[in-house]
Structures are given as C-alpha cells and as structure tokens.
A and B are shown apart, each in its own frame.
Chain A
Amino acid sequence: MVFLLSRLEQKLSELRVASKKALVAYLVAGDPDLETTLELMHGFVASGVDIIELGVPFTDPIAEGPIIQAAHDRALQTSTSLDNIFDLVEEFRTKDSDTPIILMGYINTFLANSLALESIHERGTDAVLIVDIPGESTLAQIGINNTNIASVSLISPTTDRQRIEKICQTSSGFIYYVTLRGVTGASNLDVNEIETNITNIRMHTALPVLAGFGIKTSVDAQELSKVSDGVVIGSVLVDMIHQQSSQKDYKNIYTYLNEISVAITQ
C-alpha cells in the first residue's frame, strides 16, 4: 500500500526530518502584474523560500494593514481575478513541481469561483487559507467542494482552548498562528505570549505550527522560529516589491529572504 503525501505535507515532513524551519513568503498576485508575480515566485524559491502564499486580491481585505491593502488595490486595478491566479500557478508548475502554493484571501472571491475551485489541485494549488471563515468549519461546510486541497486555519492570541481544539480538528497542512492582535504588518510582537500559546496549540495537534503577522527583521524571524515550526513573511516583502517595481530589480528582496532563511536555520 502506498501513501501519497500531498506536496505541502511532503515539504513540511522533509523540513521536520532535517530539523529545519519553514520559510513561507507572501506576495499579492498581480501586484504590480502577474508576470512579475511569476518571476518573484521563482526568485523566492531560489532565495530559500519553502512555501509560497499567494494573496488573492479583494476590494475589502479587513485583516490587512495599509501595506497589503494597497497591494490588493493595485492588483485589482490590473483586473487580477482568481481565475488568472489559477493560470499563474499552472504556469509556475511548469518549472517548479515541489514548492507548495497556498492561496490566501477572503471568502467572497472564493465563493464566486466555487466551481473552478473543485479542480485547482490538478492545476498546482495545494491549499487555501481563507481569512474570514470560522476556523472550525470545513471547506465543504462553507461551499468549497475539494477534498484534495488543504485548508490552513488561523489561531490567534484571543482564541480560547475550546476553539483551539475545534480548529485543530478541521485544519490540515499546518496551523497558522497569528502572532499579534492586529492587522498584517503591525508591530507589537510578544515572544513570551507567542511561545505559551504555541505550546498550548501543540497539545491539540500534531500539525506543524507556523507563526506570522508582524515579522519584519531576521532577528524577529530567528526568535519566532525557535518557538514555532516556521515563519511567514508578508508585509515587508509586499512593501519591497512595491518600492522596486518601477526599476523592476528585485535583487535586494532575494538578499533579504536569504538572510531570513539563514537566520531561521541557525
């Protein structure tokens, strides 16, 4: 009997076996345009990124701070749709068949494309992370019928024990621990609280627990990687992409990711 691990499970288990921490990089699909997003995705992987989180732009992204919110607006100005993003992932897969891809966004855009979502695993997408659904619901319960993709859920500092238990039961892939009370890109990390809460989460699940929201420097990343199975970098990257988009030269981003990758390996 052969057990087939999904690409995401495979990657996380490889990292675990090698005692390495996962580096997850977030960028908004279509900011500044889809060709650049594709170029950046490959560049990220070459710079040590293990998993890519593709932001799906939405007009009303209530969990995002000003930096990512502005990126959503820019991506919508070039009419980026979820349909385009499925194509983008398919294109990415022609050159990269190992790096897991997670689509992160808001329920309304996903529901508008629910039919297409049924086959996105065949087109290279490995998981979805929908920010504004109750973490204890399964994808089927909210109207997405695809059992071949993982559903990554968020747990936050305000999630109580009962909810942690329920969320762990329906989550797959990994648990995304939101490291602060606030929107993406904020800056009030409390490493002690994060450690305590991640320890609590581990009592209810064997899934890896990754930390994200507000991680900016390689010191932040290093600190948090000690108490988690990996880190998610978002707003800093989105900001850098925007700064560099006029010159179309993204080398400093790759240098930055390399530094983070080294910092969390130590």
Chain B
Amino acid sequence: MDNLTDLPNAEGFFGEYGGKFVPETLMFALQELEETYARLKKDPDFLKTFDHDLTQFVGRPSPLYFAERLTQHYRGPQIWLKREDLNHTGAHKINNTVGQILLAKAMGKKRIIAETGAGQHGVATATVAARLGLECHIYMGAADVQRQSLNVYRIKLLGATVHPVDSGTATLKDALNEALRDWVTNIDDTYYIIGSVTGPHPYPMIVRDFNSIVGRELREQSVTLFGGFPEAIIACVGGGSNAMGIFYPFIKETEVQLFGVEAAGSGIETGKHAAPLNDGQPGILHGAKSYLMQDKNGQVLDTHSISAGLDYPGVGPEHSNLKDSGRAKYLAVNDEEALRAFHMVTRLEGIMPALETAHAFAALDYLTDTFSDTDNIVVNVSGRGDKDINTVATMDGISLE
C-alpha cells in the first residue's frame, strides 16, 4: 500500500485529491496560515498551550466506554464508545477550534468567521472566540437555522453574530460559500476557522491534526482497557473531521479496519442523499478536489439528510484518497436507519447521540456480523443529541410546543 500517512504533499494533495482551488485574493492568506502552522506545530510553547486547553477547557481525555447493553443486543463483537459527546460544548468540534483560535491569535487576527451546518462548529467557534474576546461571525444556511434553533441561540448567547444564508440550498455548502466571500472581503484582519477536513490546503491537514487527539487517546486507552488496538473503528462522515481525527493515528495499523458512514438520506437510489463517496464523482468544490455530488455538467447537486451536519455534497480530500486506496471503507445509512439507531442507543445506553453520530451507530447493523465476540470495535460518538430533539420529535410526529 502507498504511504498514506505522510500526506498531504507540499502542494496540499492527498494522492490526486486536495489542493488550493481558490480565488487569487485568498492565496496569500492560505500561504500565511501554512507558514504559521508549520512553525507553531513544532513550537513547544504552542503545543503546551494546546494541550493545556484540551485538558482544562475541553475536559480531555474523553472516556473509552464499554457499551454493555449494545454489545448484548448485537451478540457480536465488544462495542466501545469513544465519548466525544462529553467534551465541552458537546462534540468533537471543539478540539479543532481550540487549536485554530491559537493560530488566529498568533497571526494577530482580530475577527473570527466560521460556517456551520448542525451548529456544533458554530458553537465551538463562538465559544473559543468568547474566551479570547474576539469578534465572531457565524454563517449558517437558513434551513439549518430553522432545524438547529437551539444551537443558533447558544451561538448568540456566546456573543457571536449569526448570518442566515438564503442562497442556493440554504444549507452548509451555501454557508461555506458565504464565509469564503466574507474572507475575501476582510482578508487583512479576519481568520476563517473551517470546521471540517475540507476546504483548500492547509485546512484539511490542520483540522485533521487538531482532531487527531481523539485517535491518539484511543491508541492508549484501547491497550489499557482491552490489551490491544480495536479490530475496527466506525465514524460518521459529512466533511469527515471526526472520522479523520480518529482514523489518522491508525492508518499505519493495517489490521485496524476503518469504516466511514455517510448519510444516505431518503436512500442512495432516490438521489436525495449526502453520500459523495458512495455515489459521487471527483470534482472541485470549496477549494479542494474530492468526491462530489454533481451532475454531468459539473453543477453541484442538492443534498438531503436528516442530519444538518452531514448535509453536504462534498467530503474531505483525505477521505477520497483513503477510499481509492481501499484503506478505509465507506458505507451509507438512510434517515430512517439513523433515527432508529438514535432511539436504540438512547434507550440501551442512556446516551443520546447527535443525529450525525446516529449514522455511525446505524452501521452496526451491517458490520457486527463480520466480527467475533472476542473482537473489539469502537464507535466514535462525535457529538451529543440535545440539539436534535426538535427534529426527532417532528420525525416522530410529536409536538413540543
């Protein structure tokens, strides 16, 4: 197998994917970010501060928890949960924002912008901006503002401004477009905290690196708790930052199977989904080449998923490369399966997962049969589900008013 860990290359490519496909005005800012990050990632003081913030502010390490009743339910492998839902602000997103805000500070930027889908990245960004007293603007598709109203209010409470985006499909991709336009306009004083392993180089690398704390902890915890690495790791994939964070430290351990789970929405066959790795072709969107949901003319297709955080037509370039290399496998589960998994995990384990995370749990239906009861598999619980109770209630036909 090709070397998959020493990527991206100097031009920002993971195999044929990635790169820097942006308007010229942004090239300077990307270069500045690349240089700053290259310097700081070797700086002991920077690493010490990042580590301190992860421990004292985020509450790391997150537990590796044995899911006893879920394991009994499937009568297959031992199922373990990596509890990113227990982080401060309730998801893995905070790992990345805690790191990137330090980069922003080092670069002397006064203004922070971010896009958000489910609102978790918006909350995580507004949180770190509040902590440092920086002006913060969050772009969010108007449709997502509706379905994630709880997170919208949290972002506002944290002192950030939420900008609903009406253009296009009014979801995550359009929020990203608008954030890029803001950045082009305010390039001199603004830092853009991208929330997933997407966008132009160096973002996919930076977001992966900051989130890799999850996989590094898992390496130690799995050895301590069950005497070796897990047989498999399962994580949901929208842009793919929680998956990349837990996969990356295991890429070299080829005995550990890696499974990414995309959103099949109403079903792959209906075309109404958000599963570019399962049903897309390579293309270029938001600064990088990657698998993309597009028509034959290269126009980006509308997506559908019950989960706002997975409702995105693209995916991180590193996932595209992992798919082509065969190192990771990507499946897709539909809205109904995800909703069923949400209820099951809530009832069986007393853990209410985010709808994004529920996709990873739903994949257990397809995967547990292939493992024996002495195998250990880990589900990355990327976030908690409080934010989704309105959506779940609506799907179940229950009014909370």
Contact = CB atoms under 8 A, between A and B. Distances in A.
B63 interface: no
B167 A69 contact: yes
B320 to A, nearest CB: 15
B302 to A, nearest CB: 9
Contact of A81 (B174, B284, B297): B297
Contacts of A69: 167
Interface stretch (B74-82, B286-294, B354-362): B286-294
Interface residues of A, number: 42
Contact of A178 (B25, B180, B300): B25
A159 B299 contact: no
Interface in B147-178: 167-168, 173-174, 177
Contacts of A219: none
Contact of A131 (B23, B283, B297): B23
Contact of B283 (A111, A113, A154, A155): A111
A205 B284 CA distance: 30
B306 to A, nearest CB: 23
Interface in A90-106: 106
A181 B189 CA distance: 12
B145 to A, nearest CB: 18
Interface stretch (A39-47, A57-65, A221-229): A57-65
B181 A134 contact: no
Interface string A194-211: 000000000000000000
Interface string B311-354: 00000000000000000000000000000000000000000000
A106 B286 CA distance: 11
B24 A155 contact: yes
A63 B286 CA distance: 11
A69 B174 CA distance: 11
Contacts of A133: 21
B143 interface: no
Contacts of A134: 19-21, 27
A78 B380 CA distance: 44
B298 interface: yes
B391 to A, nearest CB: 26
Contacts of B287: 132
A182 B185 contact: yes
A15 interface: no
A60 B187 contact: no
A251 interface: no
B22 interface: yes
Interface string B269-309: 00000000000000111110000101011111000000000
Contacts of A88: none
B286 A159 contact: no
Interface centre among A69, A81, A108, A181 (most CB of B within 10 A): A108
Interface residues of B, number: 35
Contacts of B27: 134-135, 158-159, 163
A81 B297 CA distance: 6
B142 to A, nearest CB: 15
Interface in B186-201: 186-188
A34 interface: no
Nearest to A182: B185
B168 A60 contact: yes
B184 interface: yes
A60 B285 contact: yes
Nearest to A76: B299
Interface string A126-167: 000001111100000000000000000111111110010001
B392 interface: no
A263 to B, nearest CB: 27
Contacts of A81: 297
Interface string A61-84: 111011001000100100001110
Contact of B23 (A63, A73, A111): A63
Contacts of B300: 59-60, 108
A108 B168 CA distance: 17
B28 interface: yes
B93 to A, nearest CB: 23
A110 interface: yes
A120 interface: no
Contacts of A58: 298-299
Nearest to B19: A134
A106 B298 CA distance: 10
A238 to B, nearest CB: 15
A109 to B, nearest CB: 4
Contact of B25 (A76, A109, A110, A181): A181
A133 B168 CA distance: 22
17 contacts: A59-B299, A60-B286, A65-B181, A69-B167, A73-B167, A106-B284, A108-B285, A135-B27, A156-B23, A156-B24, A158-B26, A158-B28, A158-B29, A160-B28, A178-B23, A181-B25, A182-B184
